[in-house]
Structures are given as structure tokens and as C-alpha cells.
Amino acid sequence: MVEFAGELEEALGESGPVGATVRQLATRLDRPPDHIEAALSRLARTGAVRRMGRGLYVLRDFERLDERPDFVDPVAYVERFERESGVRLGRIQGPITFRSNEALPVHRWWPYVQGYSADFVRGIVETADLPRGARVLDPFAGSGTTLVEARRAGAEALGTELLAPAVLAARVKTRFDLPVGRLERAAARAVDSARSRTPGALPFLRETRRQFSSTVLDDLTRLRDALPAGGRPVPDALRLAFGRILIPSSRLHRSPCLGYGRSRSGQEIPVAERFLAAVREMATDLAELQRHRALWGPPANVREEDARTAVWPAGSVDLAITSPPYVNGMDYVMNYKVDLAWLGYARSYRDLASLRSAQVACDNLPRAETVSYRHVVATPDPWLDEILPRIRANVERKGSYRRDDVHAVVHRYFSDLAQVLRRVRDALRPGSRFVLVVGDSLLAGTYVPGDLLTARLAESAGYRIVSVDVARSRRSGQRRSFVLRESVVTLERSRA
Ligand SMILES: C[S@@+](CC[C@H](N)C(=O)[O-])C[C@H]1O[C@@H](n2cnc3c(N)ncnc32)[C@H](O)[C@@H]1O
């Protein structure tokens, strides 16, 4: 019998349906984390507590969220949405995630776990049956999946994106006329020059020595210092190839969050070999792409800019397609800090923090950024007037949540999204479509129907909801047993 089992159960009980992690309980009870962990494992074996995923524990009484009187489940929201909007949820088949792009020419140049499927985008572009030179916009362009497919189909591709390595990827991937011979020669020169250099300075990230072996670090710094300065097509492509080999050369993995994986010692592929292989892949894809030059649209316009404030010529865009960050989801800056640091886009932790502030709200948003969203007033949708207080109450009930302003992060997220919906509306020609891939979330024991809220916000912003189709289901990170979905929301800019 664990001497503090009663205390532990009481602390877990206070955290209610939101649950608590070992670290939170250790702080709360002022005991070492390994004691807490051992005690929890014991209680889990007797069935008194349950482990819910990502190290989260809840008391058995709180295991089922839907047994709580204040829990509104996904089905209730769908019924309400269908009643209020008159739109019934449908289903679509086919791949939606980036995984399906990993072997595809051009898309494979920079695997972006947060990206979506090129086939999905191609299907939408083809269905839209656009005239040549029509404009296709992606406000959250990421690694440029939309932009590549749009240009390949003859459209003028426009996009905004804030994460510098993704901007680099989108720009390089849409420069279809990159001279293949020059690219290969420049890569060979960089590798040659790297050989005769001494190892250079490490990036500012404190854990760099833990992330890479010392041999790899020497080779990476030499190659980085041998690369020609970016800002021009061939050097940019070399920098993208360098960025691409960072994680595979490290002890890290991204699946989808950045974390330490298996040690790769003993099977390390030399840095130069990886780099040249990445460039060869680009050259192969470009040679094939350049055989279809006559079909391409005009050069793409990828702006490193905030989608919330970006202005495009009014009524000039024929189709918009995007996948926004998800509510309280991925911290892109944290997840791509290695790329940001090695490619010189961030030179300090302060730089990382300011990049994060400009992103559409995520879980790690600095607290100063949520101050004006703490009050549940003037929310962009009446559903949020109900959801936000529930999140706040759950966090308060628990007492020791990672941050006490989760409801404010969610509030800001939807305000950000509403702003982008309005920007894109203004850019679209009346009657043209905006297609978004959006997911729902479970936050602090509260269900947040992100897809339905997006459709509702759009309706208030002057769109007609054409359809909401569920594309796949996924598991909540907070509770593996809770099934979430990812939907395609199709909107049309009203003609009026
Ligand atoms: C789901 S990803 C898009 C991925 C993209 N569809 C692809 O296939 O690569 C969302 C993107 O939005 C970007 N983002 C977040 N806030 C932004 C903002 N305020 N303005 C522009 N881009 C932003 C993130 O950096 C991220 O790359």
C-alpha cells in the first residue's frame, strides 16, 4: 500500500476530468516524480486511476467525459450545426495528410509533417476548372503544397507563410525553372569547399550537442559555412537541401512533434552524402517537371507575411485552399527550432519567442499575447461564449494546469482565424471558393468543434457554407480513447 495513495487520489480528484501528469502531481504533493509515478502505476493496476495518453492520469470516476453533465460531445455539436446552418455533414475518401506526399516529386524535397496531401489539392484545383493564369491563394502556405499543385496546373500561385524554413521550401519548390546543371555543380562545389574548412560555430540552441554527434556537428557546420548566401534561386535550393538533412542527421525525430529518438550511432550516413542525395533528388524531379513547361502557370508569389494582415488585390483570386494551424495545436516554432537556428532565421531564444507571437495562436503562445482575450466578451461566435467558460472552469477546478489562460488562447485562435477569413474573402472574386482542412480538439476536458466553428465564423464573414465533409478520424493526444476528426470545409464568397 502506498502511504500517500489517499493524498494522491484526492489531488487527482481535484484535477477532475482534465487529469494530471506525474510532474504536476509531484509539484502539488511536494514529492519526487519517481515516487508519484510508481504510486500511479500501482493505482492504475488496481483500476482506481487510468492513464489516458501523453502521461496524463485521471481518476476512474472521471474516465468518461460524456458522463459529466457539462460535457457537450461531438454528436451534439454536429446535430446543432446541421439544425442551425441547414448543412448536413458529409464524408470524403482519399488521402488528406502529408504522408502521401513523401514519395512525390517536388513535395518530397522538404517533408512537412503538418502539410496536407498534394492529391487532395490537385483534386480541388481540377474540379474548379480554372482558366489558365487564374489565381490560387493559400494564406497558410506551409511548405507550398497548394502552390506547387496550382502552378503545375497553370494557375498563378499566391501564398503567405510566417515560418521561414517553410517559406524557403515553398519558394524553392515553386521555382520550376531552376537550372539543373548549375544546381548540381553548386552543390559539388559546396561539398568540396566544406572539406577544407575548419568546423564552424554551433547554433545558439543549448541542446545542440545532445542533438547531434560531434562528427556530424563538425561536418554540418563546415557544410553550412560553405553554402553560398541565400536569396537567389540556386543558393536557396542548396539551403533547402541542407535544411532537409538536419533531422535525419540528428538524434531527433519529428513525428509529428520534435523529440529524441533512437540513437543512430554506428549507422550514420556522412553529411555530404545525405546532402548530395537530397540535391540529386531535386535535380531528377526538376528535369521531369521541365518537360511540361508549357503547362505551368506564372511564377508563384510566396510572401513571408502574416495571413491576418496580408492584403491581396480585391476580388482577384479565383480559388483559395488552405489548412490552418489547429486550435491549441502544434507550436511550429518549437517544432522547427533546429531548422530556424541552423539556417540562421533565428539567432537567439528571443528571436524564437517573437516568431511565436506572430503565429496563429498555439499552446505555447507567450502569456502577454492572450491578455486581451481573457474576458469572454466580444467572442467571434456565440458557441464560443459557451465553450470558453467551460475550458476556464475546468482549468480552475484543476488548479495546476500548465497554463491558466487556455480559454484565452482558444479565444485568440478563433479571433485570428476570423481575421484571415475576412482577408481571404476580400481577395476572392464573388462566387469563388475557399476550401479549408480543419480539425477539432479536446482541450482541458472540453470538446472544441474547430471545423464547425470555422464554418460558422465564415458564414458571419460573408461566405456561404457549401459543405463540411469529414475526411478522417484521429485520436486525441490528451485522451487516446477520444476520437477526433479532420474535415474539409468548403465555402463560397457570397455574390452580394
Ligand atoms: C497546417 S500548416 C499548413 C501546411 C500546408 N498546407 C502544407 O501542405 O505545407 C499551417 C501553417 O500556417 C503557418 N502560420 C501560422 N500562423 C500564421 C500566420 N499568422 N500567417 C501566415 N502563416 C501562419 C504555420 O507556420 C504553418 O506552416
Task: Return the CATH number at 29.
Answer: 1.10.10.10
306 lines ligand 1 (CB under 6 A): yes
Closest ligand 1 atom to the C-alpha of 112? 9
Asked, for residue 154, whether it belongs to a domain, the answer is no
| SS percent in the chain: helix, strand, coil, step 5 | 50, 15, 35
308 lines ligand 1 (CB under 6 A): yes
Q: Do 279 and 382 share a domain, yes or no?
A: no
Q: Do 370 and 495 share a domain, yes or no?
A: yes
Distance CA 315, CA 331 (A): 33
Evaluate the CA torsion angle 10, 15, 21, 25 in order and state its sign. Answer: negative
Asked, for residue 316, whether it belongs to a domain, the answer is no
Q: Do 74 and 59 share a domain, yes or no?
A: no
- C-alpha cell recorded at residue 265: 550511432
Distance CA 452, CA 467 (A): 10
Q: Do 82 and 40 share a domain, yes or no?
A: no
Ligand 1 centroid to residue 139 C-alpha, Å: 8
Asked, for residue 134, whether it belongs to a domain, the answer is no
Domain count, the chain: 3
Ligand 1 centroid to residue 287 C-alpha, Å: 29
Q: Do 373 and 465 share a domain, yes or no?
A: yes
114 lines ligand 1 (CB under 6 A): yes
Ligand 1 centroid to residue 177 C-alpha, Å: 25
Closest ligand 1 atom to the C-alpha of 138? 6
Distance CA 453, CA 379 (A): 12
Asked, for residue 99, whether it belongs to a domain, the answer is no
Q: Do 291 and 373 share a domain, yes or no?
A: no
Distance CA 166, CA 304 (A): 9
Q: Do 376 and 284 share a domain, yes or no?
A: no
121 lines ligand 1 (CB under 6 A): no
Ligand 1 centroid to residue 267 C-alpha, Å: 34
Q: Do 290 and 369 share a domain, yes or no?
A: no
pLDDT in tens, the chain (496 residues): 567 878 888 788 777 767 788 888 888 888 888 888 888 888 888 888 888 766 788 877 676 666 667 788 889 999 999 999 999 999 999 888 888 888 899 999 998 888 899 999 999 999 999 998 899 999 999 999 999 999 999 999 999 999 999 999 999 999 999 999 999 999 999 999 999 999 999 999 999 999 999 999 999 999 999 999 989 999 999 999 999 999 999 999 887 778 887 555 546 899 999 999 999 999 999 999 999 999 999 999 999 999 999 999 999 999 999 999 888 667 888 899 999 999 999 999 999 988 887 777 666 677 888 888 999 888 999 999 999 999 998 888 766 556 788 899 999 999 999 999 999 999 999 999 999 999 999 888 899 999 999 999 999 999 999 999 999 988 776 666 678 899 999 999 988 6
Q: Do 377 and 489 share a domain, yes or no?
A: yes
Distance CA 229, CA 232 (A): 8
Asked, for residue 168, whether it belongs to a domain, the answer is no
Is the separation of the CB atoms in 437 and 487 below 8 Å? yes
Q: Do 58 and 185 share a domain, yes or no?
A: no
486 lines ligand 1 (CB under 6 A): no
Asked, for residue 456, whether it belongs to a domain, the answer is yes
Ligand 1 centroid to residue 325 C-alpha, Å: 6
Cell 470545409: give the residue.
Answer: 489
SS3 of residue 452 by DSSP: helix
109 lines ligand 1 (CB under 6 A): no
112 lines ligand 1 (CB under 6 A): yes
Q: Do 57 and 80 share a domain, yes or no?
A: no
Which of 138, 140, 337, 437, when mutated, tests ligand 1's pocket best, judged by the most ligand atoms within 8 Å of its CB?
A: 140
The burial class, CB within 10 Å (0-12 / 13-18 / 19+), for 471 is: buried
77 lines ligand 1 (CB under 6 A): no
Asked, for residue 181, whether it belongs to a domain, the answer is yes
332 lines ligand 1 (CB under 6 A): yes
Residues of the domain holding 44: 5-63
Q: What is the DSSP letter of 492?
A: E
493 lines ligand 1 (CB under 6 A): no
Q: Do 396 and 434 share a domain, yes or no?
A: yes
Which of 162, 357, 441, when mutated, tests ligand 1's pocket best, judged by the most ligand atoms within 8 Å of its CB?
A: 162
Closest ligand 1 atom to the C-alpha of 101? 8
Asked, for residue 273, whether it belongs to a domain, the answer is yes
